[in-house]
Amino acid sequence: MNAEELFTTGIESLKSGDNGRALDLMEQAVGLERNPLYCSTLGLCIARGKGDFKRAVSLCKEAIKKEPKNSVHFLNLGRVHILANQKKEAIRILYMGLRHSENKEIIAELNRIGRRRRPIIPFLERNNPLNKMLGKIFYTQKAGKP
């Protein structure tokens, strides 16, 4: 198999949830051709398969340096941060990717993980009882619920 075939098969394995096979295939593809897309996808595979987030982030950032306008690299890096329980950083990275192109997968990922709204009274802590109560009232009424 050439690098492109390995990559394509690896993507299929990744989508089907076979992280081990996807990791093996991506490592082989990168070994044959150090393509930025292959590197960022390998980063995602490493995060899913091995939990080595430091190496995964490094590979994704390498891809972003080589192709800074490719939103897929930002998507992969954002997913790595999600797997590493770094939601705030993931959201920041995903929004950076949207600046380059309107990637539907990035939008779906942002919708899936959600975002917290700003507190009603910004100078009070988010968990202040007044902010909690006003937030429930305000956002419930805004959503059209009684």
| pLDDT tens readout for residues 37-89 | 999 999 999 999 999 999 999 999 999 999 999 999 999 999 999 999 999 89
Mean pLDDT of 135-140: 79
11's tokens: 């993507």
Question: What is the reported pLDDT for 90?
Answer: 95
Question: What is the reported pLDDT for 138?
Answer: 81
Is pLDDT at 97 greater than 70 in this prediction?
A: yes
136 exposure class (CB count in 10 Å sphere: 0-12, 13-18, 19+): exposed
Question: What is the reported pLDDT for 114?
Answer: 79
Q: Give the integer Cα–Cα distance in Å for 61 and 56.
A: 9
Q: Give the integer Cα–Cα distance in Å for 102 and 104.
A: 6
Inter-residue contact 7 to 13 (CB < 8 Å): no
Domains for the chain: give ranges and CATH numbers: 3-115 (1.25.40.10), 117-146 (no CATH)
pTM of the model: 0.79
Q: Give the integer Cα–Cα distance in Å for 144 and 131.
A: 20
Question: What is the reported pLDDT for 119?
Answer: 84
Is pLDDT at 1 greater than 90 in this prediction?
A: no
Give the chain's radius of gyration (CA, Å).
Answer: 19
The beta strand positions in 68-131, using DSSP E, are none
To the nearest 10 degrees (0 to 180), the angle between helices 3-16 and 36-49 is 40
Is pLDDT at 94 greater than 80 in this prediction?
A: yes
